Amino acid sequence: MTTALRRLRNYIDGEFRDAADGRTTEVVNPATGEAYATAPLSGAADVDAAMAAAEAAFPVWRDLIPAERQKVLLKIADRFEERAEELIAAESENCGKPIALVRSEEIPPMVDQIRFFAGAARMLEGRSAGEYMEGFTSIIRREPVGVCAQVAPWNYPMMMAVWKFAPAMAAGNTVVIKPSDTTPASTVLIADIIGSVLDELGHPRGVFNVLCGDRETGRLMVEHEVPAMASITGSVRAGMQVAESASKDLKRVHLELGGKAPVVVFEDTDIPKAVEDIAVAGYFNAGQDCTAATRVLVQESIHDEFVAALAKKAAETKTGAVDDEDVLYGPLNNANQLKQVKGFIERLPAHAKIEAGGEQVGEKGYFFAPTVVSGLKQDDEIVQHEVFGPVITVQSFSDEKQAVEWANGVEYALASSVWTKDHARAMRLSKSLDFGCVWINTHIPLVAEMPHGGFKKSGYGKDLSAYGFDDYTRIKHVMTSLND
């Protein structure tokens, strides 16, 4: 007997709808490898409808006083708390994530981030007015950019949706957001939450819209004539494609792409503490995090001791079922990602050594063991390219100069960390490391008040913070004559 699959639907102008042409795709739970739902495979007609709804709602939403937009976002945050167990269940099924970790590590920061941007809604100030030409006064207006086409990833589908809609809506923009085709469930639930709040407070339904679909759906959204801005969190390849598509009509683009974070460990560090923290930061969410601590550079004098301790910690780290409170992470998100991670391990050069893990775990789902690989060289594939899995590589460096050279010697530039008791060294490296974030004696904490975003092929634009809020606004100069 076959269990009926749940039917997910698009959310357009306040209504849940199937794709106009009826096409669907199956959604698979990565913890079981089995389909649990179907979702629309949205095409041009669906994109047209969502963009029209957002465009119609924009003038009304834009012209609200900031306090009214704040009120909406604060109520959305409250509703997230009230419906937290529904969100947790949806995200766990979406991604195979441990339920306890979604509850403790995702719901609280998401609620906090929405409330942060609710406050930012009332900070649309410009520089003070002044006279810069005799007889004239200049003022600066901060305005929303318009309709925003947003594409969220599958590693944190729920949280990344928050990072996109919250600053956009706070600034007065309207939103059409597309979750990944492998993880649409939590975003569809978010649509129900936001739609109910907009209805209750009497605001246009088209302020927030969700389109399920694949890469083609995303391409149609970015190339559509209505959006003034395209925002994507995803791979470097996807970011380049979005930038190229958006260039055809000069849309503003916001890109948060891949990462290959260096973790630079000096001989004076507290090895047990560093190993403990780095393992968590490397294996959390199955290493499916652009900032994950997966590329460790260790000073040669402590290399062997560090590798032995890290391998022991990896062997103690558990992956497994969503209801097991002792596991640190769940499965990889999909079969293709499992194949990619396996491929990196299968192609390791002869000089590399697998110190721990290196294999799939279990017969069902896409679980992969916590892995440590040592003996690597700077130009090895696994050092240069993003694995996006629970794999930590270790290299040995001789001195500070070599550490900086190797740390910067990749095409990504999102996040990094330095582990040392030497304050002056930490300050030198915080300047020298070419990454959007440098953590010192820690790795991966984020707060709503501080920006997240990188350089080079990690993209441009910032998430979180006032800088992320600024990205969803435009600047207008108004000059008035003081003469009769």
Tokens encoding 311: 């391998």
Q: Using DSSP, state whether 18 is helix, strand or coil.
A: coil
Q: Torsion over CA of 336, 341, 344 and 347, rounded to 10 degrees?
A: -70
- 346-354: list long-range contacts, CB under 8 Å, 24+ apart: 347/381, 347/382, 348/373, 348/380, 348/382, 349/376, 349/377, 349/380, 351/375, 351/376, 351/377, 352/376, 352/380, 352/382
- Catalytic option among 91, 93, 106, 256: 256
Task: Tell me whether residue 385 is exposed, middle or buried, using C-beta atoms within 10 angstroms of its C-beta: 0 to 12, 13 to 18, 19 or more.
Answer: middle
C-beta separation of 117 from 466 below 8 A? no
Cα distances (angstroms) measured from residue 459 to each of 287, 415, 464: 20, 12, 15
Residue holding tokens 């389909």? 35
The DSSP code sequence of 254-296 is EEE-----EEEE-TTS-HHHHHHHHHHHHHGGGG-STT---EE
Residue among 474, 344, 250, 337 nearest 28 (CA): 337
Tokens encoding 24: 């669907």
| Buried-state track 269-284, b at ≥16 Cβ within 10 A, e below 16 | bebeebbebbbbbbbb
95 is catalytic: no
Cα distances (angstroms) measured from residue 251 to each of 6, 146, 318: 36, 11, 44
CA dist., res. 147 & res. 226, Å (int): 7
Task: Tell me whether residue 135 is exposed, middle or buried, using C-beta atoms within 10 angstroms of its C-beta: 0 to 12, 13 to 18, 19 or more.
Answer: exposed
Residue 73 φ then ψ, to 5°: -65, -40
Q: Using DSSP, state whether 365 is helix, strand or coil.
A: coil
- Catalytic option among 148, 290, 355, 386: 290
Catalytic residues: 256, 290
